[in-house]
Amino acid sequence: MAISLNWVNDYVPVKDIDPVSLANKITAAGINVEKVSSNNINNLVIGHILECEMHPDSDHLHVCKVDVGREVLQIVCGASNVRAGLKVIVALPGAILPGDFEIKKSKIRGIESNGMICALFELGLEEKTEETYNKGITELDIDAPIGDEALEYLGYNDTLYELDLNPNRTDCNNHLPFAYEVAAVLGRSVTMPSVSYQEIDEKVEDLVSLNVLTSNVSMYNLMIAKDVKIKESPDFIKHRLEVAGIRSINNVVDISNYVMLEYGQPLHFFDKDVVGDEIVVRMAKPNEKIITLDKEERDLGEDDILITDGNTPLCVAGVMGGLNSGITDKTKNILIESAIFNPYNIRYTSIRLGLRSEASLRLEKPLSYEFCKLAIKRACHLLEKYADAKIVKGIVTYDKVDKTEKIVEVTSKEINTILGMVVENKDVERILTNLGFSYKYENDTYTVSIPNRRQDIYAQKEDIIEEIGRIYGYDNIKPTLPLIRTKKGEYRENVKMRKIVSKRLRSLGFHEIRTYTLTSEEEIEKFNYQFGKSIKLLRPMLKEKAWIRQSLLPSLLTVSEYNKSKKNNDIFLYEIANVYHEEEDHYKESTRVAFLMTGKYLSNTWNALDYKVDFYLIKGMVENILDYLGLKDRYTLFLSDNLPKEIHPKINSEIKIDGTPVGYFGKLHPNVSKDDVYVCEIILSEVLLHKSSDVKYQELNKYPKIEKDVAFVVDKNIPAADILKEIKKSGGKLLTDIKIFDIYTGDKISSDKKSLAYNLTFEDNTRTLTEDEVMTLFNKIILNVEEKFRASIRDK
């Protein structure tokens, strides 16, 4: 689909403007010209064959004397139809034909040849087929002016614009609306094409009656053209359709397409003698069927608009005609339809049937009723002119179009304020005039009426201001900053939490990744920790992307495995993302952070320094983050048997804050990974609910501290944290720090026992402690632990 400048020139003169600079101007006004191309070939002229003799040394070549205006050239030609008297297209030496084929003076079997007599297909203007090949060289009209540029004479020398339009201005894919834009940027006016014709003495309403039974039609016009002669289209129509990418069929069918490309109003032609004398437009019934033009049987439904003859479906409105009602070689009388349907129905039907055409695409957009009426008349004009049609008097119309004129009031001040640039009144007026908008100016206010062809404009001042701005040029806008009160920008609470955790993880050596939210049915159940009901998309594109995930770990694991396959063994990854599940009457969002670590955390190859990731490292990471969030002493990390089956049952911890579970960490189950991979997932939105306070500085203790060491021998299965808790309880306020400094199992103690050595720090920030009171406390601690855990003190 492209715009032909030759065609545009019919409505507004553009031949005096450089096509590229015109394209730039139009683009700056918002009608984006994506590509400018020209089909011009130099040194291609009209010649007159004066003499044509057989080549002395060939049984098919001819030697011709051709008058090309400034001289008479001898040219050897092999076409079967070459003969004296023809007007032909001559490529002179220097002409470059498609395929980089340069014409040069040469000798053909000893005879000098100074050019080439061409066929259209050799110029790339027609497809090369057996038919076009057999036709031989192109025979021009006998009155073609000798020596003139051949392409120009044929109307083939043209500049084409390929457009990339905004969705509200697809009307500019048609030549008249495009011409209005050209007129607006050039300050010229548009000449409308002729819609005049002779009417014969028959009335259309005597030949056809119309009954519209659905509110999904806003306008429906019918006219009749009789006694048409079906033949080939004139060259200019053929060529112009070709530019638009529409194949030429015959003069009648081509005219319906031609008018569509002028106004943007699709027409439909019925064979009047087939359809009879009644047209009924209604919605299709459930399970109704029609065989369309392409011989396919189509199932219809209640949202499809149908044109019928009262009984039989004739056409799926705006989408495709029925098999028998269309134009054939034998058609004599045509019933012409020009209509505006509900765009939503056309869009729905064409998508459902997979039949999106140039016509349906246009009918999917709001159309101008003025153009709807002009287009049908324009078709009659062309049918009379190029198909010898006789036009029946009158028009049958169904018209429910709301014709309220769109009127907008806007002041010059409003224009300048919103655009942020000064547009003088004279410029405003010039632009409105060039756009074809009529206006009144009173009390510094413009009252603008919007022409019906501009269906994209909504009746509000901003729409008019945009029109003025885009034609005046946004390059004239001076950049400023808003004159509003200063304030500090802030992260909303949940965003802040995410940023804090993200930055902390980065500083701990984790790399952030982002993976897909959508996942497969298989993955959706993995790492199930506090999942709700999973959400499935209504119409997924792929089954691998049909569900909304609830855990980030499956994709983290995928990335980890990808890295393993690339021989990257030290992997530290995290992701923070939102996950969703379904609840009774709404969808619940929560934010999760997940991280994964495997390989060496710290290493140096030459000195065998090697710190491998283990459970205690990931635990340290979790503690680091929770402490950083100000939650120190408020969380617990204990082994849990409620964690996802992908987690090692004995090497894990659930994270609870103030007693509420918020996540977990641990080693991956060997069924999931053979490698030592440690993962953590925390529901950040839960963590956020546990408010923490700001740093409060504690003055450091000036009084000396006293340290004591003790080692307990206890049963192997007693957790260190339980003993720690007891020590803490017994030690009270004066015991300020407890460190485990040794864990021992082995020969020196019983095999079902372990030894845990603790370093205890006692201090008081108000005084110096005495050895005696510390020893009393220390002994009490020992006694309590011994009693509670059946522990014994380990001496050396």
Partner 1 sequence: MHNDKIEEISKSLEESFKGISKISDLENLKVLYMGKNGQITLLNSLIKDVPNEEKKEFGMKVNELKNTFNTNYEKLKEELEQKEINEKLNKEAIDVTLPGTKIEGGSAHPIERIIESLESLLMSMGYDVVEGPEVEKDLYNFELLNLPKGHPARDAQDTFYIKGDEYLLRSQTSPVQVREMLAGKGEMPIRIICPGKTYRRDEDDATHSHEFTQMEGLLVDKDITLGDLKGTFEEIAKMLFGKSRETRFRPSYYPFTEPSVEMDISCFNCNGKGCNICKNTGWITVGGAGMVNPIVLKNCGYDPSKWNGFAFGFGIERLAMLKYGINDIRTFYVNHDIRMLKEFDRREY
CA distance 694 to 121: 82
Contact indicator for 776, 766 with CB cutoff of 8 Å: no
Contact indicator for 582, 533 with CB cutoff of 8 Å: yes
Q: Measured from the CB atom, is 27 or 673 closer to partner 1?
A: 27
Contact indicator for 564, 676 with CB cutoff of 8 Å: no
Q: Restricting to residues 395-434, which ones interact with partner 1 according to CB under 8 A?
A: 417-421
In this structure, the number of other CB atoms found within 10 A of the CB of residue 255 comes to 29
Decide: is 358 part of the binding site for partner 1 (CB under 8 A): no
Decide: is 142 part of the binding site for partner 1 (CB under 8 A): no
Q: Which residues contact 754 (CB under 8 A, 6 or more apart)?
A: 713, 714, 715, 716, 743, 744, 745
Select from 312, 568, 768, 779 the one that contacts partner 1 (CB under 8 A). 568
Decide: is 541 part of the binding site for partner 1 (CB under 8 A): yes
Select from 126, 162, 427, 463 the one that contacts partner 1 (CB under 8 A). 463
CA distance 659 to 682: 15
Decide: is 574 part of the binding site for partner 1 (CB under 8 A): yes
Select from 539, 674, 696, 796 the one that contacts partner 1 (CB under 8 A). 539
Pairing between β-strand 159-163 and β-strand 3-4 as defined by DSSP bridges: antiparallel
CA distance 269 to 326: 7
Q: Restricting to residues 584-603, which ones interact with partner 1 according to CB under 8 A?
A: 587, 589, 602-603
Q: Restricting to residues 6-65, which ones interact with partner 1 according to CB under 8 A?
A: 27-30, 32
For the chain, how far is it from start to end, CA to CA, in angstroms? 94
Decide: is 492 part of the binding site for partner 1 (CB under 8 A): yes
Q: Measured from the CB atom, is 312 or 417 closer to partner 1?
A: 417
In 3D space, the residue among 687, 496, 689 whose CA is nearest the CA of residue 592 turns out to be 687
Least CB distance from residue 667 to partner 1, whole Å? Answer: 20
Select from 236, 441, 531, 580 the one that contacts partner 1 (CB under 8 A). 580
Hunting for tokens 């198909």 — which residue is that?
Answer: 387
CA distance 688 to 4: 62
Q: Looking at 183-191, 304-312, 557-565, 746-754, which segment touches partner 1 (CB under 8 A)?
A: 557-565
Pairing between β-strand 199-203 and β-strand 390-393 as defined by DSSP bridges: parallel
Select from 347, 453, 592, 753 the one that contacts partner 1 (CB under 8 A). 347
Q: Measured from the CB atom, is 494 or 759 closer to partner 1?
A: 494
Decide: is 545 part of the binding site for partner 1 (CB under 8 A): yes
Q: What angle do CA 301, 303, 305 make, to 5 degrees?
A: 95
Rg (CA), the chain: 43
Select from 21, 480, 717, 766 the one that contacts partner 1 (CB under 8 A). 480
Q: How many chain residues touch partner 1 (CB under 8 A)?
A: 92
Q: Measured from the CB atom, is 266 or 322 closer to partner 1?
A: 266
Least CB distance from residue 522 to partner 1, whole Å? Answer: 17
Decide: is 166 part of the binding site for partner 1 (CB under 8 A): yes
CA distance 786 to 23: 93
Q: Looking at 390-398, 500-508, 623-631, 664-672, which segment touches partner 1 (CB under 8 A)?
A: 500-508
Q: Measured from the CB atom, is 582 or 722 closer to partner 1?
A: 582
In 3D space, the residue among 547, 197, 256 whose CA is nearest the CA of residue 391 turns out to be 197
Least CB distance from residue 536 to partner 1, whole Å? Answer: 8
* Residues facing residue 203 across a β-bridge: 393
In 3D space, the residue among 718, 756, 763, 711 whose CA is nearest the CA of residue 737 turns out to be 763
Give the tokens for residue 725: 């808790």
Contact indicator for 213, 280 with CB cutoff of 8 Å: yes
Select from 606, 697, 700, 733 the one that contacts partner 1 (CB under 8 A). 606
Least CB distance from residue 559 to partner 1, whole Å? Answer: 5
Cα 460 to Cα 170, 429, 448, 465, 479, distances in angstroms: 21, 18, 10, 9, 25
Q: Looking at 95-103, 571-579, 622-630, 660-668, which segment touches partner 1 (CB under 8 A)?
A: 571-579
Q: Where are the beta strands (DSSP E) in 169-296?
A: 199-203, 209-212, 217-226, 267-271, 278-283, 289-291
Least CB distance from residue 344 to partner 1, whole Å? Answer: 4
Q: Given strand 735-744, what is the order of strands in its sheet?
A: 735-744, 753-762, 706-715, 792-793
Mind giving me the DSSP string for 656-718? EETTEEEEEEEEEPTTT-SS-EEEEEEEHHHHTTS--PPP---PPP-S--EEEEEEEEEETTS
Least CB distance from residue 473 to partner 1, whole Å? Answer: 10
Q: Looking at 2-10, 270-278, 483-491, 616-624, which segment touches partner 1 (CB under 8 A)?
A: 483-491
Decide: is 510 part of the binding site for partner 1 (CB under 8 A): yes
Q: Measured from the CB atom, is 602 or 743 closer to partner 1?
A: 602
Decide: is 605 part of the binding site for partner 1 (CB under 8 A): yes
Chain CA centroid to CA 299, Å: 30
Binding mask 82-111 for partner 1 (x = CB under 8 A): ------------------------------
Q: Measured from the CB atom, is 607 or 766 closer to partner 1?
A: 607
Q: Measured from the CB atom, is 332 or 356 closer to partner 1?
A: 356
Least CB distance from residue 308 to partner 1, whole Å? Answer: 25
Decide: is 364 part of the binding site for partner 1 (CB under 8 A): yes
Hunting for tokens 């697809």 — which residue is that?
Answer: 170
Hunting for tokens 């500049």 — which residue is that?
Answer: 159
Decide: is 470 part of the binding site for partner 1 (CB under 8 A): yes
Least CB distance from residue 617 to partner 1, whole Å? Answer: 13
Select from 495, 689, 740, 743 the one that contacts partner 1 (CB under 8 A). 495
Least CB distance from residue 545 to partner 1, whole Å? Answer: 7
* Residues facing residue 116 across a β-bridge: 91
Q: Measured from the CB atom, is 517 or 784 closer to partner 1?
A: 517
Q: Restricting to residues 218-247, which ones interact with partner 1 according to CB under 8 A?
A: none
Q: Measured from the CB atom, is 56 or 509 closer to partner 1?
A: 509
* 249 φ, ψ (degrees, to nearest 5): -110, -65
Decide: is 168 part of the binding site for partner 1 (CB under 8 A): yes
Decide: is 538 part of the binding site for partner 1 (CB under 8 A): yes
CA distance 445 to 585: 52
